[in-house]
Structure 1
Amino acid sequence: MRTQGKRAVSAAALLLATAGAVVAGGGPASATAADCSNGANGFVTVSDNASGAVARHIEPYPEFIINLEYGTIGGVQRGFARLRGRTVQGDKVWMDWTRDAGRTWIQCGPFTVSYLFAPKTSAAQRTSRDANWRFRACGRGSGANESFCTTWW
């Protein structure tokens, strides 16, 4: 019986990982939006209309799209979180950033959607070839009890 339970848990974990969605949890070190904008801690502000190449993508609800994107911003390749689709005022997006492969991370944000169907981005942080330097994008609907995150990139 215990073996079947372990297999069921492993199968569920594999299914979640394969789908690319992770329910956010754990104890990140939080950083406010101000701690991650306008050059603070190496982050730069990104226009809410900015878009880049999609590194990770989840759609926890129809047309509620959370992307981890990257592109050249200010001459440097940077990653950022982007929420788009059927957003409403109060929806939130943020980017988690780790320098130790996800054992600990900084939650940069959240950044809050201002009006109906508006896209919203997090601040952007430079990318790195270091395998421990990773990002994931997270979001939460204004009336939801769960947060959703992409897998690490």
Structure 2
Amino acid sequence: MNGFTDIPNSQTGRGIAGGGLVSTSNGQIVASASYGMQAGYINGQEMGWGYLQVHSTNWHTHFEVWMDVTNDGGRSWIQCGPFWTLNSRITTAAYPTSSSPSRAFRVCGSAYPGNAGIACTNWW
């Protein structure tokens, strides 16, 4: 799977590279979820992954999260996801970290329907 390792949706680690909030509204009800990046040890190797946690939804909102990994300083990247949920916490698969300045990660999230757009962390 392109070097990615599947992890459980309950996997937690230390927060890195910030995060954000995606939300959308049907004109009366707002639905929101936070997204971010975490790192920790998976099977003895340090890895990074993305997560999305739904906070409120009272109508059919579709939240997505994905992680981009670059190995050439951002000129190109591979994408893991998107993964979607209606009302829970989800994670992307994990990818090994590296001391190489060419490798970086970012996590993105979105909410549909609506005009929420796409929001991403900075590269880390």
- 1:5-44 matched pairs, under 5 angstroms: 40-44=1-5
* Matching residue of 1:151: 122
Alpha-carbon offset, residue 90 of structure 1: 2.2
* Matching residue of 1:111: 83
- 1:64-83 matched pairs, under 5 angstroms: 64-83=33-52
Match for residue 67 of structure 2 among 95, 103, 108 = 95
Question: Which segment is superposed worse, 52-61 or 72-81?
Answer: 52-61
Q: TM-score, normalised by structure 1?
A: 0.67
Q: Which has the higher strand share?
A: 2
Structure 1 residue identity aligned to 2:47: R
Structure 2 residue matching 1:141: 3-state secondary structure: strand
* Matching residue of 2:9: 48
Q: TM-score, normalised by structure 2?
A: 0.82
Q: Is the 8 A contact 2:20 2:121 kept in 1?
A: no
User: Kindly tell me: are residues 131 and 61 of structure 1, through their superposed partners in 2, closer, same or farther at Cα, counting changes over 3 Å?
Assistant: same
* Matching residue of 1:122: 92
Higher relative contact order (CA 8 A, sep 6+): 2
* Matching residue of 2:18: 57
Quick one: distance in 1 between partners of 2:38 and 2:22?
Answer: 19
Quick one: distance in 2 between partners of 1:87 and 1:128?
Answer: 35
Q: Is the 8 A contact 2:50 2:65 kept in 1?
A: yes
Alpha-carbon offset, residue 87 of structure 1: 5.8
Q: Is the 8 A contact 1:84 1:120 kept in 2?
A: yes
Structure 2 residue identity aligned to 1:135: F
Cα RMSD, aligned residues only: 1.7
User: Kindly tell me: are residues 64 and 126 of structure 1, through their superposed partners in 2, closer, same or farther at Cα, counting changes over 3 Å?
Assistant: same
Alpha-carbon offset, residue 61 of structure 1: 4.2
Where structure 1 has 5 or more consecutive residues not aligned to the other structure, the ranges are 1-39
User: Kindly tell me: are residues 138 and 61 of structure 1, through their superposed partners in 2, closer, same or farther at Cα, counting changes over 3 Å?
Assistant: closer
Quick one: distance in 2 between partners of 1:151 and 1:107?
Answer: 15
Could you give the per-residue CA deviations for residues 72-109 of structure 1, whole angstroms, max 9, x where no partner exists? 01111110001114265521000000011111111211
- Structure whose CA Rg is larger: 1
Could you give the per-residue CA deviations for residues 33-84 of structure 1, whole angstroms, max 9, x where no partner exists? xxxxxxx111111111111111122223476211111010111111000111
